[in-house]
Structure 1
Amino acid sequence: MHIIIGIIGILLFLALAWLVSSDKKSVKWKYIGIMIVIQFIFAFLLLKTTGGIYFVGKLSEGFNYIIMKAMEGVNFVFGGMANLDPKSKQPTNVFFLNVLLPIVLVSALIGILQYTKILPFIIKYLGFIISKVNGMGKLESYNAVASAILGQSEVFISIKKQLPFIPKNRMYTLTASAMSTVSASIIGAYFTMVEPRYVVTAVVLNLFGGFIIASIINPYTVDPDKDDIIIEEGEHKQSFFEMLGEYILDGFKVAVIVAAMLIGYVALIGLLNGLTGNILHTVSGGSIDWDFQTLIGFVFAPLAFIAGIPWSDAVEAGSIMATKLLSNEFVAMGLLPDAELSKRATGIISVFLVSFANFGSIGIIAGAVKSLNDEQGNTVARFGIKLLFGATLVSFISATIAGFFL
């Protein structure tokens, strides 16, 4: 039964993208079909095959080792700091120290790979291969791979020279990739919150899903003569330690920014839960015991169900999905451990959560582009809601496809 529901779900999400398409007659369904097949193949390989499970396991071990070494630096600076559980009086996990600060080391490693030209080589040629199956340009393919490694704001620095000349339709695809993927620097943090196999699966599926939805919402044909990739190298060659210091500081900034966002969003959601619960409790004379997250769960429950989540889990799952959209993926991931969900529902939700598709990302991406080119930044801001709508559909399609193998 879940296979039939999954097929209906994929068709529904594709139809929703088609409804807002800027050119419904020009959609290249052949390439979309090819990419959906590729998504199914990767989902099967990563979730069901011995080789895929082995690969994810080794990748997880690698990130765990990096996190363990990162904690040596964290403990050197923040050693002895811990929250005490009010009941057991035992130290509890400090999220900022154990989950966010290891981002600093991962960022430094990315800087080293970038400096030694290893990452640019991987990005360029992996993007070239992907461009052969997505029916789009080399620039779009390069940008999608780069977004998955560098991050949703940093990626635009690498194409700074081209920004003024990129037309609106191509700009949508570039920013859609940035919102649909996640940066490598925080994948290690995700590994500590959800199962690594779901994280890896989501990263791969979202890469192709971004092209699928963008090519439906915003179809176009790229002129080969206007498809060069001009990578920004910087005004002067940095020394190794200049680069290292910059990436370390960038990693720390990311950790602090995520921490600030979590403080604000968790507090706001707590406030909304309290106010909504009190109002409903008073109005109903004590017969209704719902809060804000329960209400948004009812709204998202049908979408959660059509994505393959059992109806018995749909309301709670919908609540977590909506929380991610309204706040960010870290807030939503923090709800998973206490959620009473089936293993299948947990897997589908986990894949859905691994992306930057939320309202805050509209401002982050538009601001990043605007800092490099004012006019293009305004262009991105104008199609911001459509960008979020498309990126959310990418997450739903990836989660639905993953559900076929859970």
Structure 2
Amino acid sequence: MFRPENAQSLVGLALILLVCWVLSEDRSKFPWKLAVGAIALQAVLVLALFGVPALRAGLAGVGAAVDGLASSTQAGVSFVFGFLAGTPDQPYAVEHPAGLFVFAFRVLPVILVVCALAALLWHWKILKWITQGFGFIFEKTMGLRGAPALATAATVFMGQIEGPIFIRSYLSSLSRSELFLLIAVGMSCVSGSTMVAYATILKGVLPNAAAHVLTASIISAPAGVLLARILVPRNPRMEDGKELDPTANKVYESSIDALIKGTTDGLQIALNVGATLIVFVAMVAMVNGILGMFPQVAGAPLSVERILGVIFAPLAWSIGVPWHDAPTAGSLLGVKLVLTEFTAFIKLGAIPVGELSDRTRVIMTYALCGFANIASVGMNVAGYSVLVPERRGEVIGMVWKAMFAGFLATCVTAAVVGAMPSALFGQ
């Protein structure tokens, strides 16, 4: 049943499109057909995945697979670190079982295993077929050329820098609009390795967390394409029709080679995630210490989280969050933008059941599921400087706008989900 809160989400969707149109480099080229098609595609995917019994059962299977992957990972972690990994069998009395969940031992190792598994599935051509299938869909439904379409699909599963690697030889010949699109889509999605990590974090507070996280990353890609095309419209004269050989790049010598290289790549990602979290959380703690010296406001000390909550509360409300949850949801949006989505998901997972409505928790899962944050700006500049050094200056000039597009793309996805009947998600 359509309720007032569903219309509330539509207001947010319209406002986001309006803001992007106002900031467009050419407001006369608003892609009306793409806007209707992208939003309709998102809605159809959500309705199909959660409304069709067979597909819903498949998503439930994803949750079971994530649980199995997490438990298998813990077996490896326990073998290396013993009781430090947080196993139930501890050599001392445990007064606070929740303290056994240590991020470094429960989440980061999942990234290692998923990266290794992804490399193996790519070598076996399973992931390659899936990626090419999604690339074909993006090409035919959203008007993308073959190379950007494949890179967009790869980004959904592999990550914001790993995706463009598949078309590295074509990056120099992409139009400015296409290059901007790749960066924006990269920031609007997450990688397969982090999907599993987020689902692990939210497992205790969000039913069917894995299904929501997987759906969020997939359906945010069309939103990223749409907002990128609005902000930097395509120029057909700059697109010469070159296509991509889908067999290029990402070649492993054997299954063992794939596992080893995938593990090495996963280690680099895990170290980057861990180091980034340490530094950014430390910076926020320092800023909060400084803010704590000022007089209290509304009976509580100032903090980065409170300030961000006030700034982003209207945006959170506009995408469908009830007003009583808006300050908390706004704070999560701000934390995602300033700190990283990992930190935001950790904070979302730490909010006890009952302190946040089920509707808010689902909407925020979709709104947070993207790489659009300040840290990703540096990652994209560094990554594209290696992939296509001759366009480094161009990347620097558009990367902040791409972060803006990626941030709002996940909000578009959240608004589309908020416009759906709550019963679809078992609420």
TM range, smaller chain? over 0.9
Q: Residues of 2 paired with 1:399 and 1:86: CA distance? A: 43
Pick which of 136-145 and 9-18 moved more.
Answer: 136-145
Q: Which amino acid in 1 is paired with 2:229?
A: S
Q: Residues of 1 paired with 2:250 and 2:326: CA distance? A: 52
Q: Which amino acid in 2 is paired with 1:35?
A: A
> Helix, strand or coil for the counterpart of 1:163?
helix
Q: Which amino acid in 2 is paired with 1:317?
A: A
> Helix, strand or coil for the counterpart of 2:70?
helix
Q: Residues of 1 paired with 2:210 and 2:295: CA distance? A: 39
Equivalent residue in structure 2 for 1:229, among 244, 247, 256: 244
After superposition, the Cα gap between the structure-2 partners of 1:87 and 1:100, relative to the gap in structure 1 and judged at 3 Å, is same
> Helix, strand or coil for the counterpart of 1:289?
coil
Are the counterparts in 1 of residues 159 and 190 from structure 2 also a CA contact under 8 Å? yes
Note the C-alpha offset of 1:317.
0.8
Q: Residues of 1 paired with 2:157 and 2:121: CA distance? A: 11
Are the counterparts in 1 of residues 188 and 372 from structure 2 also a CA contact under 8 Å? yes
- Alpha-carbon deviations, 1:314-357, whole Å to 9, x = none? 11110111000001111011111343321111111111111101
TM-score, normalization: structure 2? Answer: 0.88
After superposition, the Cα gap between the structure-2 partners of 1:338 and 1:115, relative to the gap in structure 1 and judged at 3 Å, is closer
> 1:69 aligns to what?
72
Equivalent residue in structure 2 for 1:79, among 76, 79, 82: 82
> 1:332 aligns to what?
344
Indicate whether 1:88 and 2:100 are aligned.
no
Indicate whether 1:146 and 2:154 are aligned.
yes
Note the C-alpha offset of 1:187.
1.3
Equivalent residue in structure 1 for 2:14, among 11, 14, 18: 11
- Alpha-carbon deviations, 1:143-196, whole Å to 9, x = none? 111001121111222212112222222100111111111111221111112222
Equivalent residue in structure 1 for 2:312, among 300, 317, 321: 300
Q: Residues of 1 paired with 2:250 and 2:46: CA distance? A: 42
Q: Residues of 2 paired with 1:227 and 1:24: CA distance? A: 27
Q: Which amino acid in 2 is paired with 1:306?
A: S
Identity of aligned residues (%): 28
Are the counterparts in 2 of residues 147 and 155 from structure 1 also a CA contact under 8 Å? yes
- Alpha-carbon deviations, 1:270-295, whole Å to 9, x = none? 222232133133xx6x9443322111
| RMSD of aligned alpha carbons | 2.3
> 2:205 aligns to what?
none
> 2:179 aligns to what?
171
TM-score, normalization: structure 1? Answer: 0.92
Are the counterparts in 1 of residues 294 and 302 from structure 2 also a CA contact under 8 Å? no
Pick which of 269-278 and 76-85 moved more.
Answer: 76-85
After superposition, the Cα gap between the structure-2 partners of 1:125 and 1:5, relative to the gap in structure 1 and judged at 3 Å, is same
Q: Residues of 1 paired with 2:310 and 2:128: CA distance? A: 45
State the aligned residue count. 403
> 2:142 aligns to what?
134
Equivalent residue in structure 2 for 1:309, among 303, 321, 324: 321
- Alpha-carbon deviations, 1:363-396, whole Å to 9, x = none? 1112111112212232111111111111111011
> 1:252 aligns to what?
267
> Helix, strand or coil for the counterpart of 2:71?
helix
Q: Residues of 2 paired with 1:173 and 1:236: CA distance? A: 26
> 1:261 aligns to what?
276
Equivalent residue in structure 2 for 1:188, among 169, 186, 196: 196
Pick which of 141-150 and 128-137 moved more.
Answer: 128-137
Q: Residues of 1 paired with 2:232 and 2:61: CA distance? A: 38
Structure 2: unaligned runs, 5 residues or longer: 203-208, 423-427
> 1:208 aligns to what?
222
Q: Residues of 2 paired with 1:358 and 1:93: CA distance? A: 26
Pick which of 249-258 and 335-344 moved more.
Answer: 335-344
Q: Residues of 1 paired with 2:315 and 2:12: CA distance? A: 8
Q: Which amino acid in 1 is paired with 2:34?
A: Y
